[in-house]
Protein backbone atom coordinates (compact mmCIF):
# COMPACT_ATOMS: atom_id res chain seq x y z
CA UNK A 1 0.00 0.00 0.00
CA UNK A 2 2.68 2.48 1.02
CA UNK A 3 5.71 0.78 -0.55
CA UNK A 4 8.28 3.19 -1.96
CA UNK A 5 9.00 3.07 -5.70
CA UNK A 6 12.25 1.39 -6.73
CA UNK A 7 15.07 3.87 -5.96
CA UNK A 8 17.50 5.21 -8.52
CA UNK A 9 21.20 5.36 -7.61
CA UNK A 10 20.73 9.06 -6.78
CA UNK A 11 17.87 8.15 -4.44
CA UNK A 12 20.09 5.60 -2.76
CA UNK A 13 22.29 8.43 -1.41
CA UNK A 14 20.20 9.27 1.70
CA UNK A 15 19.93 5.53 2.45
CA UNK A 16 23.63 4.85 1.93
CA UNK A 17 24.45 7.82 4.18
CA UNK A 18 21.47 7.40 6.51
CA UNK A 19 23.76 7.34 9.56
CA UNK A 20 25.40 10.58 8.38
CA UNK A 21 22.06 12.29 7.71
CA UNK A 22 21.03 11.57 11.28
CA UNK A 23 24.36 12.82 12.65
CA UNK A 24 23.96 16.12 10.77
CA UNK A 25 20.61 16.59 12.49
CA UNK A 26 21.99 15.45 15.83
CA UNK A 27 25.05 17.71 15.67
CA UNK A 28 22.91 20.70 14.69
CA UNK A 29 20.75 20.01 17.76
CA UNK A 30 23.69 19.45 20.11
CA UNK A 31 25.57 22.50 18.89
CA UNK A 32 22.56 24.79 19.14
CA UNK A 33 22.41 25.66 15.42
CA UNK A 34 18.61 25.64 15.24
CA UNK A 35 18.21 27.71 18.40
CA UNK A 36 20.73 30.22 17.05
CA UNK A 37 19.02 30.53 13.64
CA UNK A 38 15.67 30.85 15.37
CA UNK A 39 17.04 33.86 17.26
CA UNK A 40 18.96 35.21 14.28
CA UNK A 41 17.19 34.21 11.05
CA UNK A 42 19.18 35.14 7.96
CA UNK A 43 22.53 35.04 9.82
CA UNK A 44 25.63 34.69 7.63
CA UNK A 45 28.10 31.84 8.16
CA UNK A 46 30.46 34.11 10.17
CA UNK A 47 27.63 35.03 12.56
CA UNK A 48 26.64 31.37 12.88
CA UNK A 49 30.25 30.55 13.79
CA UNK A 50 30.28 33.29 16.44
CA UNK A 51 26.83 32.27 17.70
CA UNK A 52 27.59 28.56 18.03
CA UNK A 53 31.23 28.89 19.09
CA UNK A 54 32.41 26.74 16.15
CA UNK A 55 35.38 27.49 13.89
CA UNK A 56 34.58 28.75 10.38
CA UNK A 57 35.68 25.39 8.99
CA UNK A 58 33.32 23.45 11.25
CA UNK A 59 30.50 25.92 10.62
CA UNK A 60 30.80 25.50 6.86
CA UNK A 61 30.82 21.70 7.16
CA UNK A 62 27.75 21.71 9.40
CA UNK A 63 25.83 24.22 7.26
CA UNK A 64 26.66 22.23 4.12
CA UNK A 65 25.22 19.13 5.79
CA UNK A 66 22.07 20.71 7.19
CA UNK A 67 21.39 22.76 4.05
CA UNK A 68 21.90 19.82 1.69
CA UNK A 69 19.35 17.93 3.79
CA UNK A 70 16.88 20.82 3.72
CA UNK A 71 17.07 21.31 7.50
CA UNK A 72 18.38 24.83 6.89
CA UNK A 73 18.11 27.04 3.80
CA UNK A 74 20.55 29.56 2.34
CA UNK A 75 19.06 32.69 0.79
CA UNK A 76 20.38 34.84 -2.09
CA UNK A 77 21.75 37.19 0.60
CA UNK A 78 23.91 34.25 1.91
CA UNK A 79 21.81 34.24 5.06
CA UNK A 80 20.84 30.92 6.69
CA UNK A 81 17.42 30.07 8.08
CA UNK A 82 15.78 27.06 9.73
CA UNK A 83 13.46 25.03 7.53
CA UNK A 84 9.73 25.60 8.00
CA UNK A 85 9.15 22.47 10.10
CA UNK A 86 11.80 23.48 12.64
CA UNK A 87 10.49 27.05 12.84
CA UNK A 88 6.95 25.76 13.26
CA UNK A 89 8.09 23.56 16.16
CA UNK A 90 9.57 26.64 17.87
CA UNK A 91 6.38 28.61 17.20
CA UNK A 92 3.98 25.99 18.50
CA UNK A 93 6.16 25.09 21.51
CA UNK A 94 7.04 21.54 20.42
CA UNK A 95 10.73 22.14 19.77
CA UNK A 96 11.81 20.45 23.01
CA UNK A 97 9.76 17.37 22.05
CA UNK A 98 11.66 17.13 18.76
CA UNK A 99 14.98 17.67 20.55
CA UNK A 100 14.19 14.86 23.01
CA UNK A 101 13.33 12.51 20.17
CA UNK A 102 16.61 13.25 18.43
CA UNK A 103 18.42 12.69 21.75
CA UNK A 104 16.63 9.36 22.22
CA UNK A 105 17.83 8.21 18.80
CA UNK A 106 21.36 9.45 19.50
CA UNK A 107 21.87 8.18 23.05
CA UNK A 108 19.66 5.10 23.20
CA UNK A 109 18.90 3.74 19.71
CA UNK A 110 21.95 4.64 17.64
CA UNK A 111 24.76 2.31 18.78
CA UNK A 112 22.48 -0.72 19.26
CA UNK A 113 21.28 -0.23 15.66
CA UNK A 114 24.71 -1.57 14.62
CA UNK A 115 23.51 -4.93 15.92
CA UNK A 116 20.45 -5.08 13.66
CA UNK A 117 21.66 -7.82 11.32
CA UNK A 118 22.84 -9.94 14.24
CA UNK A 119 19.52 -9.37 16.01
CA UNK A 120 17.65 -10.58 12.92
CA UNK A 121 20.04 -13.52 12.50
CA UNK A 122 19.64 -14.69 16.09
CA UNK A 123 16.12 -13.45 16.84
CA UNK A 124 17.54 -11.80 19.98
CA UNK A 125 17.67 -8.10 20.97
CA UNK A 126 21.47 -8.09 20.68
CA UNK A 127 21.74 -4.28 20.98
CA UNK A 128 20.89 -4.55 24.67
CA UNK A 129 24.58 -5.38 25.21
CA UNK A 130 25.22 -1.61 25.12
CA UNK A 131 23.40 -1.27 28.46
CA UNK A 132 24.95 -3.03 31.46
CA UNK A 133 22.99 -5.76 33.23
CA UNK A 134 22.01 -9.39 32.81
CA UNK A 135 18.24 -9.11 32.38
CA UNK A 136 16.68 -9.69 28.96
CA UNK A 137 14.65 -6.48 28.53
CA UNK A 138 15.78 -2.88 28.25
CA UNK A 139 13.55 -1.50 31.01
CA UNK A 140 15.03 -3.52 33.86
CA UNK A 141 18.52 -2.46 32.73
CA UNK A 142 17.83 1.28 32.82
CA UNK A 143 18.51 1.61 36.55
CA UNK A 144 22.04 0.16 36.16
CA UNK A 145 23.40 3.27 34.45
CA UNK A 146 23.46 6.59 36.29
CA UNK A 147 20.94 9.01 34.75
CA UNK A 148 19.66 6.56 32.11
CA UNK A 149 16.22 6.10 33.67
CA UNK A 150 15.70 9.89 33.70
CA UNK A 151 16.92 10.19 30.10
CA UNK A 152 14.71 7.33 28.93
CA UNK A 153 11.55 8.64 30.57
CA UNK A 154 12.17 12.24 29.45
CA UNK A 155 12.50 11.03 25.85
CA UNK A 156 9.69 8.45 26.10
CA UNK A 157 7.53 11.26 27.47
CA UNK A 158 8.22 13.27 24.33
CA UNK A 159 7.44 10.33 22.03
CA UNK A 160 4.11 9.93 23.80
CA UNK A 161 3.34 13.65 23.85
CA UNK A 162 3.96 13.73 20.12
CA UNK A 163 1.78 10.76 19.33
CA UNK A 164 -0.97 10.72 21.97
CA UNK A 165 -3.51 13.14 20.39
CA UNK A 166 -5.18 10.07 18.86
CA UNK A 167 -5.53 8.58 22.35
CA UNK A 168 -6.81 11.83 23.85
CA UNK A 169 -9.14 12.95 21.06
CA UNK A 170 -9.92 9.84 19.04
CA UNK A 171 -11.52 7.77 21.81
CA UNK A 172 -14.96 8.42 23.33
CA UNK A 173 -14.45 8.34 27.12
CA UNK A 174 -17.97 9.40 28.06
CA UNK A 175 -18.79 5.91 29.40
CA UNK A 176 -15.39 5.39 31.10
CA UNK A 177 -14.72 6.18 34.78
CA UNK A 178 -11.44 4.52 35.81
CA UNK A 179 -8.54 3.66 33.50
CA UNK A 180 -5.79 1.20 34.39
CA UNK A 181 -2.69 2.38 32.49
CA UNK A 182 -0.58 -0.81 32.33
CA UNK A 183 3.13 0.01 31.99
CA UNK A 184 2.20 3.68 32.19
CA UNK A 185 5.82 4.82 32.64
CA UNK A 186 6.20 8.37 33.91
CA UNK A 187 2.40 8.88 33.68
CA UNK A 188 2.68 10.96 30.52
CA UNK A 189 -0.55 9.55 29.06
CA UNK A 190 -2.33 9.41 32.41
CA UNK A 191 -1.61 13.11 33.00
CA UNK A 192 -2.70 14.02 29.47
CA UNK A 193 -5.89 11.93 29.79
CA UNK A 194 -6.78 13.33 33.21
CA UNK A 195 -6.19 16.87 31.93
CA UNK A 196 -8.25 16.37 28.77
CA UNK A 197 -11.12 14.41 30.39
CA UNK A 198 -11.91 15.80 33.81
CA UNK A 199 -14.19 12.96 34.91
CA UNK A 200 -11.49 10.26 34.53
CA UNK A 201 -9.55 8.62 37.38
CA UNK A 202 -6.45 6.72 36.36
CA UNK A 203 -4.10 4.19 37.94
CA UNK A 204 -0.58 3.96 36.55
CA UNK A 205 0.87 0.46 36.97
CA UNK A 206 4.62 0.11 36.42
CA UNK A 207 7.93 -0.86 37.99
CA UNK A 208 8.93 1.07 41.16
CA UNK A 209 11.71 2.96 39.32
CA UNK A 210 9.31 4.34 36.72
CA UNK A 211 6.73 5.22 39.37
CA UNK A 212 9.20 7.42 41.24
CA UNK A 213 9.34 9.64 38.17
CA UNK A 214 5.55 9.30 37.70
CA UNK A 215 4.68 10.35 41.28
CA UNK A 216 6.78 13.48 41.03
CA UNK A 217 5.11 14.47 37.73
CA UNK A 218 1.59 13.71 38.93
CA UNK A 219 2.17 15.92 41.98
CA UNK A 220 3.67 18.68 39.83
CA UNK A 221 0.51 18.67 37.69
CA UNK A 222 -1.70 18.80 40.81
CA UNK A 223 -3.38 15.50 39.84
CA UNK A 224 -2.58 13.33 42.87
CA UNK A 225 -6.29 13.18 43.76
CA UNK A 226 -7.17 11.65 40.35
CA UNK A 227 -4.10 9.61 39.38
CA UNK A 228 -2.88 6.75 41.58
CA UNK A 229 0.23 4.64 41.10
CA UNK A 230 0.51 0.91 41.61
CA UNK A 231 3.88 -0.85 41.68
CA UNK A 232 3.56 -4.28 40.08
CA UNK A 233 4.94 -6.62 37.46
CA UNK A 234 2.54 -6.45 34.56
CA UNK A 235 2.93 -10.16 33.81
CA UNK A 236 3.19 -11.73 37.23
CA UNK A 237 1.04 -9.60 39.53
CA UNK A 238 -2.75 -9.26 39.65
CA UNK A 239 -4.18 -6.08 38.18
CA UNK A 240 -5.78 -3.84 40.81
CA UNK A 241 -9.61 -4.09 40.69
CA UNK A 242 -12.22 -1.42 40.02
CA UNK A 243 -11.21 -0.22 36.54
CA UNK A 244 -13.60 -0.14 33.58
CA UNK A 245 -10.92 0.47 30.94
CA UNK A 246 -7.47 -1.12 30.58
CA UNK A 247 -4.93 0.84 28.53
CA UNK A 248 -1.76 -0.60 26.99
CA UNK A 249 0.19 2.42 25.71
CA UNK A 250 3.42 1.70 23.84
CA UNK A 251 3.38 -1.64 25.61
CA UNK A 252 2.36 -4.45 23.25
CA UNK A 253 5.07 -3.39 20.77
CA UNK A 254 7.59 -4.70 23.30
CA UNK A 255 6.45 -8.28 23.73
CA UNK A 256 5.99 -11.44 21.66
CA UNK A 257 2.55 -12.47 20.33
CA UNK A 258 2.27 -15.11 23.09
CA UNK A 259 3.04 -12.53 25.79
CA UNK A 260 0.60 -10.05 24.21
CA UNK A 261 -2.17 -12.62 24.26
CA UNK A 262 -1.38 -13.25 27.93
CA UNK A 263 -1.55 -9.51 28.70
CA UNK A 264 -4.79 -9.01 26.78
CA UNK A 265 -6.19 -12.08 28.54
CA UNK A 266 -5.32 -10.49 31.90
CA UNK A 267 -7.09 -7.32 30.80
CA UNK A 268 -10.15 -9.39 29.79
CA UNK A 269 -10.23 -11.03 33.23
CA UNK A 270 -9.90 -7.66 34.97
CA UNK A 271 -12.89 -6.17 33.10
CA UNK A 272 -16.64 -6.76 33.29
CA UNK A 273 -18.85 -7.26 30.25
CA UNK A 274 -19.30 -4.07 28.23
CA UNK A 275 -15.99 -2.63 29.45
CA UNK A 276 -13.09 -1.88 27.22
CA UNK A 277 -9.40 -2.38 26.46
CA UNK A 278 -7.39 0.24 24.54
CA UNK A 279 -4.15 -0.49 22.70
CA UNK A 280 -2.23 2.65 21.75
CA UNK A 281 1.03 2.57 19.79
CA UNK A 282 2.43 2.76 16.26
CA UNK A 283 1.21 0.13 13.79
CA UNK A 284 2.54 -1.24 10.53
CA UNK A 285 0.26 -1.74 7.54
CA UNK A 286 -1.56 -5.05 7.23
CA UNK A 287 0.06 -5.82 3.87
CA UNK A 288 3.61 -5.50 5.25
CA UNK A 289 4.67 -2.73 2.86
CA UNK A 290 5.05 0.22 5.22
CA UNK A 291 4.74 2.90 6.31
CA UNK A 292 8.35 4.09 6.18
CA UNK A 293 8.19 5.15 9.86
CA UNK A 294 7.31 1.59 10.87
CA UNK A 295 9.92 0.06 8.59
CA UNK A 296 12.69 2.21 10.07
CA UNK A 297 11.56 2.15 13.70
CA UNK A 298 11.72 -1.64 13.46
CA UNK A 299 15.50 -1.41 13.84
CA UNK A 300 15.08 -0.03 17.37
CA UNK A 301 12.46 -2.63 18.24
CA UNK A 302 14.54 -5.53 16.87
CA UNK A 303 17.76 -4.51 18.61
CA UNK A 304 16.67 -3.20 22.00
CA UNK A 305 13.47 -3.54 24.06
CA UNK A 306 13.04 -7.34 24.14
CA UNK A 307 13.45 -10.43 21.96
CA UNK A 308 10.75 -10.19 19.28
CA UNK A 309 9.62 -6.58 19.91
CA UNK A 310 8.15 -5.01 16.78
CA UNK A 311 5.54 -2.67 15.32
CA UNK A 312 2.95 -5.34 14.58
CA UNK A 313 0.28 -4.79 11.91
CA UNK A 314 -3.22 -3.86 13.04
CA UNK A 315 -4.61 -7.23 12.12
CA UNK A 316 -2.32 -9.08 14.55
CA UNK A 317 -3.82 -7.15 17.47
CA UNK A 318 -7.32 -7.86 16.18
CA UNK A 319 -6.53 -11.56 16.01
CA UNK A 320 -5.14 -11.58 19.60
CA UNK A 321 -8.16 -9.62 20.87
CA UNK A 322 -10.60 -12.05 19.26
CA UNK A 323 -8.56 -14.95 20.64
CA UNK A 324 -8.98 -13.50 24.16
CA UNK A 325 -12.75 -13.10 23.74
CA UNK A 326 -13.01 -9.37 22.97
CA UNK A 327 -15.52 -8.14 20.36
CA UNK A 328 -16.59 -4.84 18.72
CA UNK A 329 -13.00 -4.20 17.72
CA UNK A 330 -12.41 -0.72 16.26
CA UNK A 331 -9.37 0.93 14.66
CA UNK A 332 -9.02 4.61 15.58
CA UNK A 333 -6.69 6.93 13.66
CA UNK A 334 -6.28 10.66 13.14
CA UNK A 335 -4.31 12.49 10.49
CA UNK A 336 -0.69 12.43 11.67
CA UNK A 337 2.83 11.96 10.30
CA UNK A 338 3.40 9.02 12.69
CA UNK A 339 1.49 5.73 12.23
CA UNK A 340 0.07 5.83 15.75
CA UNK A 341 -3.45 4.73 16.41
CA UNK A 342 -5.68 3.07 18.96
CA UNK A 343 -7.49 -0.25 18.83
CA UNK A 344 -10.43 -0.43 21.19
CA UNK A 345 -12.28 -3.63 21.94
CA UNK A 346 -15.08 -4.57 24.30
CA UNK A 347 -15.49 -7.50 26.64
CA UNK A 348 -18.64 -9.46 26.03
C1 LIG B 1 7.81 1.90 26.15
S2 LIG B 1 7.51 2.32 27.81
C3 LIG B 1 5.90 3.04 27.67
C4 LIG B 1 5.59 4.01 28.77
C5 LIG B 1 4.23 4.72 28.61
N6 LIG B 1 3.13 3.78 28.58
C7 LIG B 1 4.21 5.58 27.37
O8 LIG B 1 3.41 5.32 26.48
O9 LIG B 1 4.99 6.54 27.30
C10 LIG B 1 7.15 0.74 28.52
C11 LIG B 1 6.85 0.79 30.00
O12 LIG B 1 6.55 -0.54 30.44
C13 LIG B 1 7.14 -0.74 31.71
N14 LIG B 1 7.37 -2.17 31.93
C15 LIG B 1 8.13 -3.00 31.17
N16 LIG B 1 8.13 -4.24 31.69
C17 LIG B 1 7.36 -4.18 32.81
C18 LIG B 1 6.98 -5.16 33.76
N19 LIG B 1 7.37 -6.42 33.66
N20 LIG B 1 6.15 -4.77 34.77
C21 LIG B 1 5.73 -3.47 34.87
N22 LIG B 1 6.08 -2.51 33.97
C23 LIG B 1 6.88 -2.86 32.96
C24 LIG B 1 8.44 0.02 31.63
O25 LIG B 1 8.94 0.31 32.93
C26 LIG B 1 8.03 1.26 30.84
O27 LIG B 1 7.62 2.30 31.69
Report CA(249)–ligand 1 centroid distance (Å).
8
From the alpha carbon of 142, which atom of ligand 1 is closest? 25
Residue 137 located in a structural domain:
no
* CATH code, 307: 3.40.50.150
Domain that holds residue 16: 9-93
Report CA(160)–ligand 1 centroid distance (Å).
12
- pLDDT the model gives residue 113: 98
Q: Are residues 76 and 170 in the same domain?
A: no
* CATH code, 86: 1.10.10.10
- Termini Cα distance of the chain: 33
Mean pLDDT by 10 residues, the chain (348 residues): 76 96 98 98 98 98 98 98 98 96 97 98 98 96 92 93 96 98 97 98 95 96 98 96 98 98 98 98 98 98 97 98 98 97 97
Q: Are residues 85 and 202 in the same domain?
A: no
Which amino acids bring their CB within 6 angstroms of ligand 1? 139, 156, 160, 183-185, 188-189, 206-207, 210, 233-235, 249-251
Split into its structural domains, the chain has a count of 2
Q: Please report, to the nearest 10 degrees, the dihedral formed by the alpha carbons of residues 220, 222, 224, 227 taken in order.
A: -90
Q: Name the nearest CA neighbour of 72 among 103, 101, 104, 44.
A: 44
Q: Are residues 160 and 88 in the same domain?
A: no
Q: Are residues 57 and 182 in the same domain?
A: no
Site to probe by mutation for ligand 1, drawn from 141, 161, 207 as the one with most ligand atoms within 8 Å of Cβ, is: 207
Site to probe by mutation for ligand 1, drawn from 128, 185, 232 as the one with most ligand atoms within 8 Å of Cβ, is: 185
- pLDDT the model gives residue 1: 47
Nearest CA to ligand 1 atom 27: 185
Residue 290 located in a structural domain:
yes
Nearest CA to ligand 1 atom 11: 183
Q: Are residues 72 and 211 in the same domain?
A: no
Report CA(185)–ligand 1 centroid distance (Å).
5
- pLDDT the model gives residue 292: 97
- pLDDT the model gives residue 6: 86
Report CA(6)–ligand 1 centroid distance (Å).
38
Residue 161 located in a structural domain:
yes
Residue 114 located in a structural domain:
no
SS in 3 state form for the chain? CCCCCCCCHHHHHHHHCHHHHHHHHHHHHHCCHHHHHHHCCCECHHHHHHHHCCCHHHHHHHHHHHHHCCCEEECCCCCEEECHHHHHHHHHCCHHHHHHHHHHHHHHHCCHHHHHHHHHHHCCCHHHHHCCCCCCCHHHHHHHCCCHHHHHHHHHHHHHHHHCHHHHHCCCCCCCCEEEEECCCCCHHHHHHHHHCCCCEEEEEECHHHHHHHHHHHHHCCCCCCEEEEECCCCCCCCCCCCCEEEEECCCCCCCHHHHHHHHHHHHHHCCCCCEEEEEEECECCCCCCCHHHHHHHHHHHHCCCCCCCCCEHHHHHHHHHHHCEEEEEEECCCCCCCEEEEEEEEC
Q: Are residues 209 and 340 in the same domain?
A: yes
- pLDDT the model gives residue 348: 87
- Domain end (from 66, 93, 120): 93
Q: Are residues 71 and 167 in the same domain?
A: no
Report CA(335)–ligand 1 centroid distance (Å).
26
Residue 163 located in a structural domain:
yes
Amino acid sequence: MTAASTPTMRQLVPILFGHAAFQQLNAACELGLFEYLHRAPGACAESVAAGTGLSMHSTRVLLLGTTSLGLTTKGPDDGYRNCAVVEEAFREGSWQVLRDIVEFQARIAYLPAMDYAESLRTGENIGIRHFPGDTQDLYTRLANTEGLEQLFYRCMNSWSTLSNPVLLQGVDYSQVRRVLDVGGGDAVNAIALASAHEHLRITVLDRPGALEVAKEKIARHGLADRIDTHAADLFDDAYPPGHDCVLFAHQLVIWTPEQNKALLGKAFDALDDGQRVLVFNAFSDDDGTGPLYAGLDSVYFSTLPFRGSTLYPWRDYEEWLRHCGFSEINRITIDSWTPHGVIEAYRG
